[in-house]
Amino acid sequence: MSQSTPKPEALASFKHFQGESPVTNVPGQHTWARPRKVDAGTVTYHQARGARMTPPVGFTLLQLRYFLVAAERGSMTEASGALHVAQSAVSAAIQNLERDLRVQLFIRRRGRGLTLTPAGERLKQHARELLARAREVEREARGDGETISGPVAIGCFVTLAPYYLPPLFSECTRRYPGIEIDVVEAETDQLVQALGAGRIDFAVTYGLGLPTEPTLRSETIAQAPAYVIVPADHPLARQSTVALVELSAEPLVLLDLPHSRDYFRSLVAATGTAPDVRYRTRSYETVRSLVARGVGYSVLNQRPATTQTYGGGEIAELELRDESPPLEVKIASVKDMTQTVRARAVMDLLREIAACHATA
């Protein structure tokens, strides 16, 4: 005869016989306490601490990985190719994940691939964070937690890139040779979209144009006051400061980027004069080269280490006597996203670089 599993009542009676007592916390569930002697001839019982176990999670990291790749590729076929597994394995894993979570993650249309549902969009970000954290746990468990390595995707505002990325790359290579930095250089609106889509871990950008959304958090790491550039042979070039009204009769070379253009126009308009925008360009260095050629003046924020332009011309930099708010350089990220150890290390490097710029 095969032995049958004893009923809970029988098991409880057996434990009483062995000298243990059931302690009920939840109807239908028992935790067990062992007898403890207080003094001779007296026996009391205490409840076992932490005896109640955390309920198991109904999905696996493998399911999340398959789901995330399928979400990023938009196709079961492409996901199976990227994962080097059969398409049926990917499909089964995602179906099981949907069953375990009791939600539909994809809208499947024949010939049109996969489209994430709202629940799928929410899970996509959580899955990415959870898998990144799992990799960190694995490294720490193996004993190499002190070696920070792996990819970090950052975004950088286009005009800030020449000032922050070169020292970041060199210093990161020196301190953390195992970190691989991927960069998206773009304007603020595009960086915010990349943050929301999970394509980058964080962004370095101006606070100008950065939306005050509850899903974003930002930290100011530097201040960038506005200043004026004129040709090196300009009559005002020997001065150390200038008021914008002194240049009201001259053409303005405008750095024509979203939000930036409005900021520069507002500085001139605050003097009571309308800016005479004769030339405009989206390139920071083209602005400097045009000014060096004598076609006008400009207002900028970031200062290169040299007054020479790419074309070999020279400019003069003048402090503004006008009261004008400086632009704030910020690190922006998704508020509820837990940054990896390597991403936090790169953030710390950027704070150091910003502090060096401030004291230079």
- Nearest CA-CA partner of 304 in 295, 291, 323: 291
Distance of CA 50 to the CA centre of its chain: 36
261, 255 contact by CB (below 8 A): yes
Please name the amino acid found at residue 40: A
Terminal CA-to-CA distance of the chain, rounded, Å? 86
Predicted pLDDT of residue 314: 96
Amino acid residing at 355: A
Q: How far is CA 277 from CA 262, 265, 273, 283, 292, in A?
A: 12, 9, 12, 15, 16
- The predicted-structure confidence for 165-192, as pLDDT tens digits, reads as follows 999 999 999 999 989 999 999 999 999 9
CA distance 11 to 17: 10
What is the rounded distance in angstroms from the CA atom of residue 336 to the CA atom of residue 195? 12
Residues forming beta bridges with residue 316, ordered by sequence position: 230
Cα 123 to Cα 66: distance, rounded to the nearest angstrom: 13
Positions in the chain whose pLDDT score sits under 50: 1-51, 143, 145
Do the Cβ atoms of 62 and 85 come closer than 8 Å? no
Give the pLDDT score at 359.
Answer: 66
Yes or no: say if 241 and 320 are a contact pair by the CB < 8 Å rule.
yes
Shortest CA distance to 196 belongs to which of 130, 116, 115, 121? Answer: 121
Residue owning tokens 């079961």: 76
What pLDDT sits at residue 360? 60
Handedness of CA 237, 243, 247, 253 (dihedral sign): positive
> In 10 A of CB 257, how many CB atoms?
23
Using one digit for the tens of pLDDT, what is the confidence trace for 51-81?
455 567 778 899 999 999 999 999 999 999 9
Residue where the block lists tokens 């599993």: 5
Cα distance between residue 129 and residue 64, in whole Å: 11
Check: CB of residue 236 under 8 Å from CB of residue 245.
no
